[in-house]
Amino acid sequence: MAPTSLVKEHPYSHLIDTLTDGRIKFFNPQKLNDARYDKLPLSMRIFLEAAIRKCDGFYIKEEDVQNIIDWQQQQEKAEVPFSPARILLQDFTGIPAMVDLAAMRDAVAKHGMDPSLVNPKCPTDLIVDHSLQIDYSKCAIQNTPNPGGGDSSSRPAPSRPLPRGGSHCGGQRGSCSKGACSDPPASPGRPPASVQQIENTPLLCPFHLKPVSEPETALKNQEMELIRNKERLQFFKWCTKAFKNVNVVPPDVGAVHQVNLEYLSRVIQVSDGFIYPDSVVGTDSHTTMINGLGILGWGVGGIESEAVMLGQPVSLTLPQVVGCKLVGSINPLSTSIDIVLGITKHLRQAGIGGRFVEFFGPGVSQLSTPDRTTIANMCPEYSATVSFFPLDQVTLKHFKRTNFSQEKLELLESYMKAVKLFRSYEDPSEDPQYSEVIEINLSTMVPYVSGPKRPQDRVAICSMKEDFQKCLDEKVGSKGFHISKESQQLRVPFLHCGQEYQLAHGSVVIAAVISCTNNSNPSVMLTAGLLAKKAVEAGLVVKPYIRTSLAPGSGMVTHYLNTSGVLPYFNKLGFEVIGYGCATCVGNTAPLPDAVVDAIKEGNLVACGVLSGNRHFEGRLCDCVRANYLASPPLVVAYAIAGTVGINFEEEPLGVTSEGKELYLRDIWPSRDEVQQTEEDTVISSIFKDLRGRLEKGNTFWKNIDCPDSVLFPWDPKSTYIRSPSFFTKLSKEVPPPQSIQDAHALLFLGDKVTTDHISPAGSIARASAAAKYLMSKHLTPREFNSYGARRGNDAVMTRGTFASIKLQNRFIGKPSPKTVHIPSGQTLDVFEAAERYQRDGIPLIILAGKDYGSGNSRDWVAKGPFLLGVGAVIAESFEKLHKNQLVGMGIMPLQFLPGQNADSLEISGKEKFTITLPDSLSPRQQLTVKTSQGKSFPVTAQFDSEMEVILFRHGGLLRYVARTLL
């Protein structure tokens, strides 16, 4: 509710205060005169302010305010609501959310109500960034581009492959079709243009209209992105017209987390004459990066974000807040990623799942704001909800050189100090009381990588060679590949571009500096660039068959890499800018050369990918690349030069110069002082101003898109991208009674660690999949399939893609496969085909699973897909909390085995029939009984954490609940 309109009735109107000039009001929690406020963690003070300001006696009650102020006693007990200041959506999760709202308008209209009532009440930013695919790399077409059904006449003509290290202008590898404006007139004896480009960097680029080197690959990939996604973009543009409070950031601007950090972050909000802290929940897995700026934010599922968009607060149990005290001095050779992975390891071992982490201590002041956002980004890896860095002088300096005016900086500092949300980390008297304190000494951090299959498996680079050898020896599991001793020394020769090379176990074939985690941190990217510069100057090269790529988070990154003079050296090593958006990290890697794939298969080699992201599940980058390592950008460059992960950088040379001199990594690694000085000289306020101008200007393609001008969206029945989902079928005004599950079959019998990647693939659509069969029935060719992410607005595609991962371990099948057994007939079918047959026969479905069901990225289709397959319950040993919430939000019961019990201990084969009887009144954490057709019965706990979750389940999910509130 608006504070100004109901200020007289507001239960906390006596807390309203004004800043010194008297023009702006705010709710001041200090006027509670409660000593407990000064001891609250700063993240909980933001919770308290929001509860006070939004207290309306319905969604948020005075009891909720009292529970938050009494956090020390109520943590992990009281359920509290939180109303964020804004919503952040990326297009993969944003399009189904907006499609659902468009479908909800239809449902409301069918009941005779005004469909325009369906609008986001909370400001919503939607960034189109996940549709980028790498069709072009190193200025060469990778096979044939996939335009996704676009007009063939508009497809770019194939260009000839160009040699690595070509000129950046003048018709070869540059962003401009003209010669370099900085090139002097040719004269006898002068070095070639490529050398001049390195020595006298900047060129004018049409992307930035500034001296920025923009490779041809980026422009071509952007053009293909716009062609194949025109239909989706038309829908997004309709959303900006039809819905209030929706802002769409068009494609080719930057990745969602980058745009959020660089452009959308406000720290404070001013509305209706009131000032309050900025806060955000988002559907992007990197939403938590914003906590590094002192802005509270975390990731939610698409259906939760829809509820917040419609005015519903996020409901969560008052969390424990772990204080992470940083002490000691940072090792000069350690990058932010080393600090990130070190902190991640400590916090993962501390077992802090589901809690908030708040940083304090004198060591925090050594971390720059980009360092903090990088650390904050990794909190999902140790299962924390947020990793919060309260605002301090370092953060203020960051905003001063970005997009904040002096007036706003003064207002920001004045307000944050008035409500005690500003910190001095050197002053221990300001330290709050935490649930527990974990102390981490920064001086102990050394360079690490993570892999080869899981992000939590960290390996010091000094031990990398030995660790990879152990992975080859160990049995197949979380790390092992079980390669026989006689096969481990195998080398497979192959030809590439007329030259012979050899691959072995550990050979690097993918090296990607991508738009995840690190690109918000100039120091890490500049370290990689300076390393590349020194490597090129020393005569080192990267083998041309390695699939190298550089996908910065935004044009800002390209700008500072260029203005610092390092971008041409990236290009010399093959790391060309391929575009702006998520690519490698979501499975959109360009195909490896056929000769490389054939060599890997011939020798059954454990080939490797090295990337600077935070997701690298086995097979995600490429099916034939089994070992994938997360590394900092400079280490990605180093391993690409080495060509193998089987190297000890401390004892073995990285390469040999043309003079025959051995070069070690330490010889070309830039010092911390060198990196910081380069950062100070290049990452300046003009970069952020240029980004803001480009965002506000938009691109011509977006401006020229035509879209419908109507309250209801005119669904095209022929569309394979946008389709009205069936979530509101037979929607009644009355809430139906609880529906028991009678004689259900198990659709799947799964083990431990089933990730969201297994449930809902985000990459390419396999030609033999159920989704492919559907698209081919719509007369599309495989070249026009696009990706699951791009077709997320089509429930028919996404339902067929549910459990379509080739890595799915279904115990009914006994090997990784996107198949299951249709129990009544005994046939092995695609999961969708089996579910379709069950639904046709009126048979309800459940899923049996092990521990940590639903871990990984937040995706709404991991719940929507099973719902549309007909799944009514998931019985597992444990759930990832966010995914459990998503199941409840779609009306699927999350049922948990009692401690010490599982399907094996209960001797369940999975082929029985299951009956789950629901009482007339459900309650949180209620114990239910599951009966089988074999005469067995066993207890399970219904994982409803609050009365609100019970209400959502009884309504059949969040969407139907929200729709009923409008009827």
Q: How far is CA 692 from CA 4, 492, 684, in A?
A: 31, 50, 14
pLDDT of amino acid 220: 65
Query: For 950-962, what is the mean pLDDT?
Result: 90
Compute the residue count for the chain: 967
Which SS3 state, helix, strand or coil, does residue 949 take?
helix
The residue behind tokens 């001199």 is: 661
pLDDT of amino acid 404: 81
| Percent with pLDDT over 70 in the chain | 82
Report how far residue 836's alpha carbon sits from residue 868's, in angstroms, rounded to the nearest whole number: 10
The residue behind tokens 């001049």 is: 196
Q: How far is CA 81 from CA 455, 552, 798, 800, 884, in A?
A: 32, 36, 31, 35, 18
Cis peptide bond N-terminal to 452, omega within 30: yes
Q: Across 577-635, where does the E strand assignment appear?
A: 608-611, 627-630
Query: For 298-309, what is the mean pLDDT?
Result: 82
Cα torsion 760, 766, 767, 770 to 10°: value is: -20
Q: Kindly report whether the global pTM for this prediction surpasses the value 0.75.
A: no
pLDDT of amino acid 146: 38
Report how far residue 372's alpha carbon sits from residue 299's, in angstroms, rounded to the nearest whole number: 17
| Three state DSSP letters for 73-135 | HHCCCCEEEECCCEEEEEHHHHHHHHHHHHHHHHHHHHCCCCHHHCCCCCCEEEECCCCCCCC
Residue 13 neighbours by CB distance under 10 Å: 12
pLDDT of amino acid 618: 55
**Within a 13 Å sphere around the CA of 607, how many CA atoms are in the beta-carbon half?**
29
Report how far residue 523's alpha carbon sits from residue 633's, in angstroms, rounded to the nearest whole number: 10
Do residues 128 and 95 lie in contact, with contact meaning Cβ atoms separated by under 8 Å?
Answer: no
pLDDT category at 21 given cuts 50, 70, 90 is confident
Phi, psi of 765 (to 5 degrees): -95, 115
pLDDT category at 691 given cuts 50, 70, 90 is low
Q: Is the pLDDT of residue 151 over 50?
A: no
pLDDT of amino acid 764: 84
Do residues 513 and 550 lie in contact, with contact meaning Cβ atoms separated by under 8 Å?
Answer: yes
| Percent with pLDDT over 90 in the chain | 51
Residues paired with 894 in a beta bridge: 874
Q: Is the pLDDT of residue 965 over 90?
A: no
Report how far residue 714's alpha carbon sits from residue 332's, in angstroms, rounded to the nearest whole number: 59
Lowest-confidence pick of 422-436, 580-594, 691-705: 580-594
Query: For 473-478, what is the mean pLDDT?
Result: 90
Q: How far is CA 865 from CA 761, 851, 870, in A?
A: 11, 20, 9
Q: Name, in order, each residue with C-beta under 8 angstroms of 243's C-beta and a sequence gap of 6 or more.
A: 98, 101, 119, 120
Compute CA 142 distance to the chain's CA centroid, rounded to the nearest angstrom: 26
Report how far residue 735's alpha carbon sits from residue 956's, in angstroms, rounded to the nearest whole number: 9
| Three state DSSP letters for 764-828 | ECCCCCHHHHHHHHCCCCHHHCCECCCCCCCHHHHHHHCCCCCCCEECCCCCECCEEEECCCCEE
Report how far residue 364's alpha carbon sits from residue 339's, in angstroms, rounded to the nearest whole number: 12
Transcribe 251-310 into DSSP letters: TTSB-HHHHIIIII--SEEEETTEEEE-EEEESSTTGGGGGGGT-EEEE--HHHHHHHHT
Helix pair angle (555-563, 685-697), 10° resolution: 140
Q: Name the nearest CA neighbour of 802 among 825, 840, 769, 842.
A: 769
195-198 long-range Cβ contacts below 8 angstroms, 24+ apart? 197/167, 197/168, 197/169, 197/568, 198/536, 198/565, 198/568, 198/569, 198/572
Lowest-confidence pick of 282-291, 357-366, 428-437, 862-871: 282-291
The residue behind tokens 């100070």 is: 680
The predicted-structure confidence for 762-813, as pLDDT tens digits, reads as follows 778 988 899 999 999 999 999 888 888 778 889 999 999 999 998 899 999 9
Query: For 428-452, what is the mean pLDDT?
Result: 92
pLDDT category at 212 given cuts 50, 70, 90 is very low
The predicted-structure confidence for 337-368, as pLDDT tens digits, reads as follows 677 778 888 888 888 888 999 999 999 998 88
Q: Is the pLDDT of residue 319 over 90?
A: yes
Mean pLDDT of the chain: 83
| Phi-psi domain of 805 (left: phi exceeds 0; alpha: psi -120 through 50; beta: other) | beta
Report how far residue 630's alpha carbon sits from residue 612's, in angstroms, rounded to the nearest whole number: 6
Do residues 747 and 820 lie in contact, with contact meaning Cβ atoms separated by under 8 Å?
Answer: yes
pLDDT of amino acid 248: 87
Query: For 541-553, what is the mean pLDDT?
Result: 90
Do residues 809 and 784 lie in contact, with contact meaning Cβ atoms separated by under 8 Å?
Answer: no
Q: β-strand 499-504 against 458-460: which pairing, if any?
A: unpaired
Which SS3 state, helix, strand or coil, does residue 428 take?
helix
Residue 475 per-residue DSSP state: P
The predicted-structure confidence for 71-103, as pLDDT tens digits, reads as follows 999 999 998 999 999 999 887 778 888 999 999
Q: Name, in order, each residue with C-beta under 8 angstroms of 736's C-beta and a sequence gap of 6 or more.
A: 954, 956
Do residues 749 and 851 lie in contact, with contact meaning Cβ atoms separated by under 8 Å?
Answer: no
Q: Name, in order, each residue with C-beta under 8 angstroms of 654's C-beta and a sequence gap of 6 or more.
A: 535, 540, 638, 641, 642, 647, 663, 664, 665, 667, 668
pLDDT of amino acid 458: 84
Report how far residue 706's alpha carbon sits from residue 238's, in angstroms, rounded to the nearest whole number: 9
Token pair listed for 371: 């360092």
Element at 45 (helix H, strand E): helix 42-54
Query: For 574-594, what is the mean pLDDT?
Result: 72
Token pair listed for 222: 């952007």
Residues paired with 942 in a beta bridge: 895
pLDDT category at 642 given cuts 50, 70, 90 is very high
Is the four-CA dihedral 557, 213, 216, 549 of positive or negative sign? negative
pLDDT of amino acid 705: 84
Q: Is the pLDDT of residue 170 over 50?
A: no
The residue behind tokens 């409803």 is: 944
Among 303-317, 326-340, 844-858, the range with the most confident prediction by mean pLDDT is 844-858
Is the four-CA dihedral 560, 566, 567, 573 of positive or negative sign? negative
Q: Is the pLDDT of residue 643 over 80?
A: yes
Is the four-CA dihedral 923, 750, 883, 453 of positive or negative sign? positive
